[in-house]
């Protein structure tokens, strides 16, 4: 295999121009889905590559629990500089696992705390917090029936589980009736489209491979644009949504935590406003390759396919080599 075994580790570099092209030329809904899938696939491929390199590179170390046949020179020849990269892969893989674990734990903790903070409020779709600080965000529920300690289905044992739009009195007091409708429509789109899952997926991908951080930033932006466009379609006025975003950005500090999506989420607010003041983007799911949007989509798909095939080829070849070197 040679140096090609390391290809999945560096292919995420192609995500940088692809993310920019997707932001500019694809419909926000298509860009969000495409970039999220691309980030997850590239992250999985690079993690598999690290695992294979670690197995081969550390098989010859004394005291390891791996079969003796895996330390055969023919097996080690499959990975260049196997001893060096194998030892380096150990802390790298541990760092990936720890970072992803911490991200999942923090995501779950934030949602639990947010739901507990709303425990004393009426169980309505919109929760209004008596807070002078201006912010609003979409708080996803568990979307599953809870059980009490007595095992009765349908009752949540710990706090509310439904999807809720959380907004403070400080923000509502600064928005007019039309801007409030835009605010609620925007947050409902976040909940209906499960944007929290897209954001969590790209956060985990960026933890697995730092080269994927541009995709995390791009998906955070395209998810907001997706909600902007759907909110504009729901209330029938792109200009009203643009005014709501601008007004909220002037007085809001953004969402309390980055795992929650909100109207005035941190990011390029002027770009979002400018996009809403322009004509609505075409809602093509997959534009033709002859257009700039199609070129961006096909470039993303090609990069993902190359990385996936490279990782699959490396994995299958390595498994066959290790199987042949293992005595029955």
pLDDT digits (tens, 9 = 90+) for 45-67: 888 888 877 777 676 655 565 66
Residue 46 near residue 12, CB atoms below 8 Å: yes
pLDDT of residue 291: 77
Which DSSP state fits 173? T
Q: Which SS3 state, helix, strand or coil, does residue 44 take?
A: helix
Instruction: Average the pLDDT over 267-291 and give the result.
Output: 81
Residue 8 near residue 45, CB atoms below 8 Å: yes
Q: Residue 236 pLDDT > 80, yes or no?
A: yes
Of 251 and 136, more confident: 136
Domain ranges of the chain: 2-144+160-325
Most confident of 253-257, 273-277, 281-285: 273-277
Which DSSP state fits 266? S
pLDDT of residue 33: 92
Query: Taking Cα atoms as reference points, which of 202, 207, 192 lies closest to residue 259?
Result: 202
pLDDT in tens, 150-186: 444 444 445 446 888 988 888 898 889 999 999 999 9
Q: Residue 148 pLDDT > 50, yes or no?
A: no
Query: Taking Cα atoms as reference points, which of 204, 255, 219, 310 lies closest to residue 30?
Result: 219
Q: Residue 130 pLDDT > 90, yes or no?
A: no
Return all residues near 233 (Cβ < 8 A) that are at least 6 apart.
280
Question: In 10 A of CB 158, how many CB atoms?
Answer: 12
CA distance 286 to 297: 7
Residue 181 near residue 249, CB atoms below 8 Å: no
What mean pLDDT value characterizes the chain? 79
pLDDT of residue 307: 77
* Long-range contacts formed by 282-289: CB under 8 A, 24+ apart: 282/27, 283/27, 283/29, 284/27, 284/30, 285/27, 285/30, 286/30, 287/25, 287/26
Angle of helix 177-192 versus helix 195-208 axis, rounded to 10: 60
How would you class 301 by CB atoms within 10 Å of its CB: exposed for 0-12, middle for 13-18, buried for 19 or more?
middle
CA distance 212 to 204: 10
Written as six digits, the tokens of 62 are 């004394």
Question: In 10 A of CB 326, how many CB atoms?
Answer: 14
Instruction: Average the pLDDT over 262-281 and give the result.
Output: 78
Strand-pairing partners, residue 252, are 134
Residue 10 near residue 211, CB atoms below 8 Å: yes
pLDDT of residue 297: 75
Percent of the chain with pLDDT over 70: 76
CA distance 190 to 138: 6
pLDDT of residue 208: 94
Instruction: Tell me the pLDDT band of 82, cut-offs 50, 70 and 90.
Output: low
Scanning the chain, the segments in alpha helix (DSSP H) are: 7-10, 15-25, 28-58, 73-76, 82-117, 169-172, 177-192, 195-208, 213-235, 238-251, 269-277, 292-325
Instruction: Tell me the pLDDT band of 97, cut-offs 50, 70 and 90.
Output: very high
Q: How many CA atoms lie within 13 A of 61 on its CB side?
A: 15
Phi, psi of 134 (to 5 degrees): -90, 115
Containing 126, the helix (H) or strand (E) segment is strand 126-129
Question: In 10 A of CB 66, how many CB atoms?
Answer: 15
């Amino acid at each position: 295999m040679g140096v090609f075994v390391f290809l999945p580790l560096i292919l995420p570099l192609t995500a940088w121009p692809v993310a920019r092209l997707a932001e500019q030329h694809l419909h926000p809904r298509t860009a969000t889905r495409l970039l999220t899938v691309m980030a997850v696939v590239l992250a999985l491929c690079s993690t598999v590559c690290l695992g294979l390199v670690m197995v081969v590179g550390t098989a010859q170390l004394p005291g390891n629990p791996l079969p003796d046949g895996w330390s055969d020179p023919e097996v080690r020849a499959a990975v260049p500089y196997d001893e060096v990269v194998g030892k380096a892969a150990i802390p790298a893989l541990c760092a990936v696992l720890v970072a992803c674990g911490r991200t999942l734990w923090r995501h779950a903790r934030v949602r639990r705390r947010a739901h507990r903070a709303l425990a004393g409020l009426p169980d309505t779709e919109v929760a209004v917090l008596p807070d002078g600080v201006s912010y609003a965000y979409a708080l996803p529920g568990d979307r599953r029936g809870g059980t009490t300690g007595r095992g009765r289905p349908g009752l949540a044992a710990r706090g509310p589980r439904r999807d809720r739009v959380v907004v403070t009195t400080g923000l509502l007091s600064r928005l007019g009736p039309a801007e409030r409708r835009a605010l609620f429509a925007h947050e409902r789109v976040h909940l209906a489209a499960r944007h929290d899952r897209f954001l969590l997926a790209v956060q985990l991908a960026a933890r697995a491979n730092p080269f994927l951080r541009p995709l995390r930033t791009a998906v955070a932006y395209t998810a907001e644009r997706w909600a902007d466009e759907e909110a504009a379609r729901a209330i029938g006025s792109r200009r009203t949504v643009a005014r709501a975003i601008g007004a909220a950005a002037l007085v809001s500090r953004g969402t309390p935590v980055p795992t929650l999506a909100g109207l005035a989420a941190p990011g390029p607010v002027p770009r979002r406003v400018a996009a809403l003041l322009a004509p609505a983007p075409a809602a093509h799911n997959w534009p033709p390759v002859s257009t700039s949007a199609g070129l961006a989509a096909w470039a993303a798909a090609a990069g993902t396919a190359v990385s996936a095939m490279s990782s699959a080829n490396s994995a299958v070849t390595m498994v066959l080599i290790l199987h042949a070197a293992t005595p029955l």
